[in-house]
Structure 1
Amino acid sequence: MQIRGAADSPHAPRAATDRVVFLDVLRIFAFASVLAGHKFYPAIEAAAQDPSLHVTLRLMAQILAPFVWAGGAGVIVFFLVSGYIITQVLQRERAGEFLLRRIFRIYPLYIAAVLIETLLAALLLGQAVPPLSVMIPRLLLIGDLFGTPYALAGVEWTLRLEVLFYAIMAALKALGLIEQPKTLPWIYLALSALGLWAGPMPTAHGWSDGFITLYLPFLFVGSVAFLNERRLIGGGAALAAVGGIYAGYLLALPGINPRGANSHFLTLACLLSLAVWLMRARLRGAAWIVFLSNLTYAVYLFHNWLWSYLEAAARGLGLVGGTAAGITLLLLLVISAMAHRVIEQPAIALGRRIAARLQASGRG
């Protein structure tokens, strides 16, 4: 089955007929895990340890907690899905077309989210607008070159990593290496080993030190999964690449990011992704799956900073506790749906049209 819609997005295909359902399911888990980890984890952890709760409810909270801790499992699933889809996209797109369409996919909604976050912080919280020396690298997602603080209450780091991955994959395409898939697992292993040898990158922000070194290889794992599924590489090469990357992560993690060393979120994310992939033939699409999957990017961009404003508005109406949280979540989904419809979809369509015209003019 082709992922035709994935040519426009690492997150959302164009039409229901183009859906690959297991990818939609993984996207939904990913943003739900990140959202729950950032906004509901204390409540989940408290429920997991509350002796007054029924034992079944307590067990459910104990099972859920590792999957949402810090949103880590969701982020890894995002990376695995992106690696899978980007590799598929590059089977038919040239490097220039690929980069052009990625720009229109990633940047318009991201830039809108950053500008809205900055404006609201200035108007409602009295925060100073960052100087251009901060805003320009931030908006271009090249802040790691300048030690620029993250936007969007911290989630920007994953997008910086995505953009780096796109650049690497475009370079591999331009060099003709995507057309030599049997070499790719070894290239991925070599790049991963080079990152470990060079030391943690970046080292500017403390809590996220070394995220390129630790997590870029798992975008490669998603790529290996696609190549193996399509029988472009053998199972032995796939296992060697994935096993080598996973072993490198386990060895490097305690020294780079001790905060995550006692968590199993990466292993859980990989096992969950494998389980969903194994069940892919049995999964069936539904309208609600398509709807939620399409909101993945917008929810990810907005949730961590917009939540406090929406929750304050709900509490201003006299709502408290679970009711306030429920209304806040509903408002977040509505705003994300509007952003997807008004900004994200038109930008993707514009990128597609420009790429098609450039391709047609090149042929002419």
Structure 2
Amino acid sequence: MSAAALPAVTPPARPAARLAWLDALRGIGALAVVAEHLLPWFLPALRPYWFSLGVYGILVFFLVSGYIIPTSLERHGDVRAFWISRFFRLYPLYLAVIVLVLALSWWVPVRGEVPRDGSAVAAHATMLLDVVSVGGVADTMWTLSYEMVFYLLVTALFLIRGHDRSGLLSMGFAAGAVVVGLVASGAVLKGGWPAYVSCAVFVVGLAGVLLGRLRTLSACVLGLMAVTLLVLSSRVPWLGTAVLAVMFAGTAIHRWERGTGGLWPVAVTSALVAISPLWAIESGWWWVEADVWITTIALAGATFAIGMALRGRRLPRVLVWFGLISYSLYLVHHPLLKYFVEISGDLRRADLPVQLGMSALALAVVLGASALTYRYVERPMQELGRRVSRRSRHGLQGGGDQRVASQDTGDDGVLGHQERQVPDRVRDHVGQADPLG
């Protein structure tokens, strides 16, 4: 996220090339998250502690989300099509993983952070898990909360014509992360009721957005609800606020690239995000120590800058492929690693050749399963979503859509795999629990 590291503005590359560099970044982020979870269980001696692999991965992913999601909505100019695309891209695999984890809970129990009541159902239905302080049935699902908050907020901003203020928004959320960290140690609104209320508002509000009934009002209510939950009922309020700052910084970078905004807000956001956890109440995890946190941010920013510098060039096909399957890779890898360890036993003290061999086998299983879920779950559902979106546009003309001049909506692959990337709770050999479980 370092402004100095970003490349100079160059002419736009071909759409396919632009997709390739974004997918390559997603691939890097996904592999970083897999490594964050694999190393403590299989090769603990190789896990780095001078930066956080998992947080690095999520920052890269969230920068990609911020870079492409708002401008994709603006390019297509169709709020209904945007949300249809989101549902068909996110929910099918998400629900499939939930079913898998619950079906095998007799063998590997569902994590204790998941409430055994209706609040868990309500929170999973909206994906607003972390911002209502509910654990996901799969450990990595918590980051989808911030993707959903971002989507809700961006939709509201688009409809009220406030979507071009990305730099101000990024700085505002970054400053908010510092302030929230100083005054709040956790959720102010506690209990199951935020999950129930947010689910009801989510369903009614999105119905209004999709059907065109009081669309702008519905979107604004959803956006306000999302920000309120982010600040008042998140498990780690400063972190969620900083994540939104990073995402809007990604949008600001895109606007700078297009010549419609400056880069200085990104530099200000970077500095504020860098200091946001340093005085935060109860932020004493190893990865928010000043040297680790700042190094992680710098590496994520440098990775994104290098990706931008290479846009338009031919990139390694395997890295682009990792990005293509990255949502599957993100959601399925952690449950599969748990099942693998349940069969293999504790490998942390095994001989190095055994650790290496089992690591390679586990990675092969994860990649194979991710490729299959992409091929047979993600891709067919994405195609179905496009067909539903086309029928919706043809059958509901005049339903109150807010439109701008649009381009080919068939490039929806660019909207794709940014919602899935983060480490979660894994016990490691230094005796500390990773904080984001």
Assess same fold via TM > 0.5: yes
Q: Check if 1:333 corresponds to 2:367.
A: yes
Mapped partners of 2:70, 2:397: distance in 1: 25
| Inter-CA distance 186–23: structure 2 relative to 1 (3 Å threshold) | same
Amino acid at match of 2:249: V
Equivalences for 1:96-175 in 2 at 5 Å? 96-121=80-105, 123-125=106-108, 130-144=116-130, 146-153=132-139, 155-175=140-160
Mapped partners of 1:258, 1:206: distance in 2: 17
| Inter-CA distance 253–115: structure 2 relative to 1 (3 Å threshold) | same
1:194 to partner: Cα distance: 4.2
Amino acid at match of 1:160: S
Mapped partners of 1:156, 1:142: distance in 2: 10
- The aligned residue for residue 230 of structure 1 is 258
Residues 299, 333 of structure 1: 8 Å contact kept: yes
Of the structure 1 ranges 203-212 and 289-298, higher mean CA displacement relative to structure 2 is found in 203-212
- The aligned residue for residue 29 of structure 2 is 30
Aligned residues: 324
Mapped partners of 2:305, 2:40: distance in 1: 24
Mapped partners of 2:49, 2:308: distance in 1: 23
The partner residue of 1:294 within 289, 300, 324 is 324
TM-score in terms of structure 2 length: 0.66
- The aligned residue for residue 387 of structure 2 is 353
- The aligned residue for residue 267 of structure 2 is 243
Alpha-carbon displacement from aligned partner over 1:239-277 (angstroms, at most 9, x marks no partner)? 1x1122122223321233332123121121112211221
Residues 89, 382 of structure 2: 8 Å contact kept: yes
Looking at secondary structure, tell me which structure has more helix per residue.
Answer: 1
- The aligned residue for residue 278 of structure 2 is 254
Task: Give the 3-state SS of the residue equivalent to 1:107 in structure 2.
Answer: helix
| Inter-CA distance 201–74: structure 2 relative to 1 (3 Å threshold) | farther
Of the structure 1 ranges 295-304 and 272-281, higher mean CA displacement relative to structure 2 is found in 272-281
Mapped partners of 2:256, 2:184: distance in 1: 29
| Inter-CA distance 258–307: structure 2 relative to 1 (3 Å threshold) | same
| Inter-CA distance 112–136: structure 2 relative to 1 (3 Å threshold) | farther
Amino acid at match of 2:60: V
Residues 201, 213 of structure 1: 8 Å contact kept: no
The unaligned stretches of length 5 or more in structure 1 are: 5-16, 48-60
Mapped partners of 2:141, 2:239: distance in 1: 12
Equivalences for 1:29-48 in 2 at 5 Å? 29-40=28-39, 46-47=45-46
TM-score in terms of structure 1 length: 0.79
The unaligned stretches of length 5 or more in structure 2 are: 1-11, 188-232, 347-352, 399-437
The partner residue of 2:242 within 214, 222, 225 is 214
Amino acid at match of 1:223: T
Task: Give the 3-state SS of the residue equivalent to 1:32 in structure 2.
Answer: helix
1:136 to partner: Cα distance: 2.8
1:289 to partner: Cα distance: 3.3
Mapped partners of 1:146, 1:215: distance in 2: 16
Amino acid at match of 2:90: I
